[in-house]
Structure 1
Amino acid sequence: MGVKFVTLTGGEPTTKKDWYVIAEKLSKAGIYTNIISNGWFVEDDLVEKIKQAGIAICAISIDGVKETHDKIRKEGSFEKDLLALKKLKYHGVQTMVATTINNENIEELDEMYDIFSEIGVDFWQLQITLPMGNFLKQQTLFVEPGMIEQIIDFAYKKKEGQLEIHLTDGIGYYNKKQICMQQNTCWAGCSAGKKSVGILQNGDIVGCTSIRNEKMIEGNIRDGSLRDIWFSKDSFLWNRNFKRDDLKGLCRECKYGDMCLGGCSNSRFTLNGTIESENILCSYNYKLVQARKYINKLDEEQLLQLFTILIEKNEYQIAKMVYDRIKNINGNHVIEMCEKYLQVNTDCKENNNE
């Protein structure tokens, strides 16, 4: 199958008695093996097992500064987790902090960055709170669409720092600062069932371990081999056959839709119940939504001026919104606008690489 990376996670993976046996077999097979822990059981004996198993990176989940993290996790968790990171660093294990950003801890990112940098943490993975699991009961913690830009701005500001920040699949997309952070590479669609696969605690095989839906279970490791399931022409069709026309809302209209395919499938699924839904937590989607609100407030003369400016700046998608708005107000200007539009560029798709 050519597996290159495996991450052991949970729950708490270290509560499985033979976790390190599995990890060692993976690492000895040349597979880059990581583990994500809550940090509570990271004592000297566990650190030794982590080293012997050949774990490449040990990640600890920390969701805020002391008060916030202990409120979300458990009293005493923050100090316990910092101690775990220090022990791992002392023994030469590469470390990562995994943080789920929510409505409360988003303003603590700078302080958290300083704490982790002082310890010498190697990597910091940022992800966003979604309506799933225990968070279903804590809706006040959900991030708002406008916060995605704030997270990207924070990560971009720190890109030259000693602590390397990684934005997960739920944070994006087609944001110039994010693309710069990712060495000028762009999001190319959800990898579930295309480049990645997950095995749940009961043996179920899924394209993404975050998406918990019976229709997206491809089989069970106890009933068939992972290889056979992976290479089956009938597996992961929900994503392997997914195309732009399956999307709804602005994602379907988006000029990046053919490549992006709506961003993270789990974000769309948990927010709206289907993977075809518009991704309201997309940075570019938020930009379009705000642009539409602004456009709807303008009179005809202001719209014509804005249209010209947008064409000059190669903002063709928003220019199309202005065009549609003027068409609804006064169709007499439509031909004039079309001529101007065609004169500058007749094919918006050529600008997908901007």
Structure 2
Amino acid sequence: MQPKTTLHYTALGLQKMKRKVQAIRECAKNRAEDASYAQDLPDEIGLKLTNRCNLRCTHCFQWDIGGYHHNLDKAALKKDGDLRIEVVRELFEKTREKKSSLYLWGGEPTLYAHWDELIALLKEDPRDTVMCTNGVNLQNQMDSLVSVSECINILFSIEGPEDIHDKIRGKNTYKKILDNLDLLMARQANGEYKGTISVEAVISDGLIPQLYDFCEFYEKKGIDSLFLNFPWYIPEQVANQMDEYFEERYGWMNTSRGQHNSWHSFDFRISPEMIDVLKVQIDKIMKKTWDIRIRFHPELSDDIDDYILGGTKPAQKKSRCLGISNRIDLLPSGEVTPCKKFPEFVVGNLNNGSLEEVWQGGDYKKFREVHNNELMAICAKCEILYANGI
């Protein structure tokens, strides 16, 4: 159950929900008959546009001290290492009729080397698009985003009040982000910006005692939605077990890096002694009816202790990921992964293969067959499971 709201879904919002439900039902039905099943073309496309970022957040699994981006080749961290625009253009062309939705992230997506070309593609072929940004330099891209805003949903990452946020994301970043948030909201209010504006925060020890007040702050500010994300904490013991599991089941991908595998980087956590404090805050939030939409990701209910402490049992009784049959994720290298945050899982590369060849190809089918009824230990923390799983 999620916090109550006075808001009603728009016709477009209901249409998007209906499309999501239909895709999940279709994939569930067909996967029961064929473990390797996938839609003809993916309904959702995730584009990690760049590995580059202008912040070094302390909770980041990519760029914190133990983040896996430190192990990337230097070439992957330059502009030339960003996702090739030719690959993006092919995805637009192949999914023009289907209107696959887009999720843009990074690194920091506003640093993308081919930003202007991407905006031109969205102008020519608008489709539902979410962009997750730290917001620090959004003023540089704001005019271009406004020009395609009928299809854009901007998601600002803000970790709490100024002291909490700056401790995690860097000194003076809070003011820069809030200035850009306010500027975009002003352009939304005067009708220039036609998309939605949302904020997301990773729940941390510092934010927990102020969580209710944080919600009230953004309710008064008048954003569209506030997403409160539980950290993807993977204990070292589980990460070590995952190393062995990957070698056993997916060694044929030849992408394991042992102790440098990405799942070792998910070490940001809520302290056990803060769990009871968090529950009090959640209870207070749940008792109010809000004028914005507030969502916990994932919705935990009775699973909160196990999830926070690093348990491997998925919440919500999820047992099967259908995202591997209706969603494709690309890394800046052009590599295709069925697991958005875990780049070891590589099933092809759109730099040397077409969308259809990779999406319906042997490696992707093999992954779906192995993964069909067997979630991995790390799956319990994955947002795709909770959005596209049953």
TM bracket, shorter-chain basis: 0.5 to 0.7
Cα 1:191/1:247, change in 2 over 3 Å: closer
Mapped to 1, the partners of 2:274 and 2:287 lie a distance apart of 20
Q: Find the counterpart in structure 1 of residue 133 from structure 2.
A: 37
- Structure 2 residue 149 is the aligned partner of structure 1 residue 18: no
Q: Which amino acid in 1 is paired with 2:381? A: S
Mapped to 2, the partners of 1:135 and 1:121 lie a distance apart of 35
User: Which ranges of structure 1 fall in alignment gaps of 5 or more residues?
Assistant: 176-184, 249-261, 270-278, 283-354
Task: Give 1:73 deviation, angstroms.
Answer: 0.3
- Give deviations 1:259-317, integer Å, cap 9, x for gaps: xxx8x716289xxxxxxxxx9xx9xxxxxxxxxxxxxxxxxxxxxxxxxxxxxxxxxxx
Query: Does the aligned pair in 2 maintain the 1:155–1:165 contact within 8 Å?
Result: no
Mapped to 1, the partners of 2:284 and 2:264 lie a distance apart of 24
User: Which deviates more, 145-154 or 109-118?
Assistant: 145-154
Task: Give 1:91 deviation, angstroms.
Answer: 1.1
Q: Which amino acid in 2 is paired with 1:267? A: K
Mapped to 1, the partners of 2:380 and 2:144 lie a distance apart of 33
Mapped to 2, the partners of 1:226 and 1:144 lie a distance apart of 47
SS at match of 2:364: coil
Q: Which amino acid in 1 is paired with 2:164? A: T
Task: Give 1:122 deviation, angstroms.
Answer: 0.7
Q: Find the counterpart in structure 2 of residue 53 from structure 1.
A: 148
- Structure 2 residue 198 is the aligned partner of structure 1 residue 198: no
Query: Does the aligned pair in 1 maintain the 2:153–2:197 contact within 8 Å?
Result: yes
User: Which ranges of structure 2 fall in alignment gaps of 5 or more residues?
Assistant: 1-40, 42-97, 235-261, 304-315
SS at match of 2:290: coil
Q: Find the counterpart in structure 2 of residue 222 from structure 1.
A: 351
Cα 1:140/1:32, change in 2 over 3 Å: closer
Q: Which of 209, 227, 233 is 1:107 aligned to?
A: 209
Task: Give 1:11 deviation, angstroms.
Answer: 1.1
SS at match of 1:235: helix
TM-score, normalised on structure 1? Answer: 0.57
Query: Does the aligned pair in 1 maintain the 2:110–2:138 contact within 8 Å?
Result: no
Mapped to 2, the partners of 1:144 and 1:230 lie a distance apart of 45
Which gives a bigger RCO, structure 1 or 2 (Cα 8 Å, sep 6+)?
2
Q: Find the counterpart in structure 1 of residue 306 from structure 2.
A: none
Cα 1:187/1:162, change in 2 over 3 Å: farther
- Structure 2 residue 200 is the aligned partner of structure 1 residue 65: no
Q: Which amino acid in 2 is paired with 1:125? A: F
Corresponding pairs, count: 242
Cα 1:104/1:19, change in 2 over 3 Å: same
SS at match of 1:96: strand
Task: Give 1:154 deviation, angstroms.
Answer: 5.9
TM-score, normalised on structure 2? Answer: 0.53
